[in-house]
Amino acid sequence: MNRRVFLKSSLGALALPVMESIGLPNKLVSTSQGTKRLVCIGNSFGFHASHFFPEDPGPIRLLPKALQPLKNHLEQLTVFSNLDHGVKGGHYAVHSFLSGVKHSQASSMPNGNLSLDQRAAEVFGFNTRFPSLVVGSENGLHGGCQMSWTRSGVRVPPIEGPKHLFRKLFIQEKSMNNHLVLQQFDLGKSILDASLEDARRLGKRLNGRDREKLDEYFTSIREVETGIQQREKWYSVPKPDAPIEEPANRNLVEDIPVLYKLIALALETDSTRIASFEMAGAQFNTRLLGLSNGYHAYSHHGQKGENIEALLALELYQMECFSNFLEQLKSTKSPNGSSLLDETTVLFGSGMGNGNAHTNNNLPILMAGRGYQTGSHLVMPSTKNKRVPLSNLYLSILNQLGVEDETFAHSTGTLTL
């Protein structure tokens, strides 16, 4: 088997994150006291500022319009103002929501445009069958869902629709002869070993720029190797029984609550501890919500009252679905006796600040669950000479999850509550 063909096909099919430490434990890790989970949720068109941000800093006494569905979860959440990545680019900059780095600028960063969820998956994703679950609609505005990125700058393609997510979680793949499968795993590993040895010999004759390219190649090799090890490790472990009937793929509006339910089930069954979910606004069938125009058109409201009211209807629907998701996590007990919400850090937001003006500053950011149950609106300082990067919050999230990094993207430190 030609090694280049193998590597090309493996990289094309791989939807798993790279891990810093290639070694995997010999036995499966069960849920233990203090299990930590991360869920990241984003949409592509942001929220109207007056609908999202409370008027005053401190304890939230009056919820803004778009957050009204969260009234029963007020004590489990924190809203942030004046956080962003300092990037520009309108719709194209939205894709930096979880990474803090535009893909076009990734080569200038030590970790590329590695996203928050995939960094967490690098460190403790190997504890579960799926190091991370990336869910969303594939074909959206300007390239579809592009929220999750590996260290080598590869977009992690999302799982489209509840039917595909259900099958990934609960349907056992038809297995080949066990001996043949193990032979395939061994073949893959031997080809990688040979490729790495060839690359190391070549590296001695390269200049600085080519060495950087070789480092990227090594990263890609490690991603493939990790994927092989992960599949080999879980090959003989049965998937959990499905607690619901297989759903159908309908459209994004009808699929959102079902996808949330399946993500919660994935956490409950410990199939994964890291999930991301992106809602590409261009996929919204707004007519199902009684509207006549598209989501993108409403986001460019032009300060017209009827357009802003329609935009609010879209925002309320998303927040109602999110509220039900929090309720499902809150009402589900973990093996440790606490609720899943108490053990899960939940990020909700967007890489778009003002959809009408196509600006990416002051992003709508809301945190819920583990570590962010304050019931407060935290307003970060934001002046011409002083600004707190959103990456500071992401670094804090990683540290709370046990990832002992000192930086993330353009962070200047951690953000403490």
Strand order in the sheet with 365-369: 58-59, 376-379, 77-81, 365-369, 344-350, 37-43, 274-279, 133-136
How many Å separate Cα 201 from the centre of its chain? 37
Residue 177 confidence (pLDDT) above 60: no
For residues 161 and 24, the model is more confident at: 161
Short-list 242, 231, 132, CA closest to 175: 231
Please report the DSSP string for 215-254 in residue order: HHHHHHHHHHHHHHHHHHHHTTSPPPPPSSPPPPP--HHH
Q: pLDDT-based confidence at 263, cuts 50/70/90?
A: very high
What residues pair up with 149 in beta bridges, in sequence order?
155
Q: Which residue has the higher pLDDT, 208 or 156?
A: 156
Mean pLDDT of all residues in the chain?
A: 82
Element (H, E) at 59: strand 58-59
Tokens of 190: 């031997």
pLDDT value of position 188: 47
Please state the pTM of the whole predicted model: 0.80
Domains and CATH numbers, the chain: 1-30+175-237 (no CATH), 35-172+243-400 (3.40.720)
Q: What pLDDT, in 10s, does the model give residues 63-89?
A: 999 999 999 999 999 999 999 999 998
Residue 351 CB partners (closer than 8 Å, separation 6+): 42, 44, 46, 85, 93, 94, 95, 96, 97, 360, 363
Q: Please report which confidence band the pLDDT of residue 32 belongs to, taking 50, 70 and 90 as the band edges.
A: very low
The tokens describing 66, both together, are 């778009």
pLDDT at 52: 97
Question: By three-state DSSP, how is residue 11 classified?
Answer: helix
Distance CA 203, CA 210 (A): 8
pLDDT tier at 6 (50, 70, 90 boundaries)?
very low
pLDDT at 282: 77
Which helix (H) or strand (E) segment holds residue 79: the answer is: strand 77-81
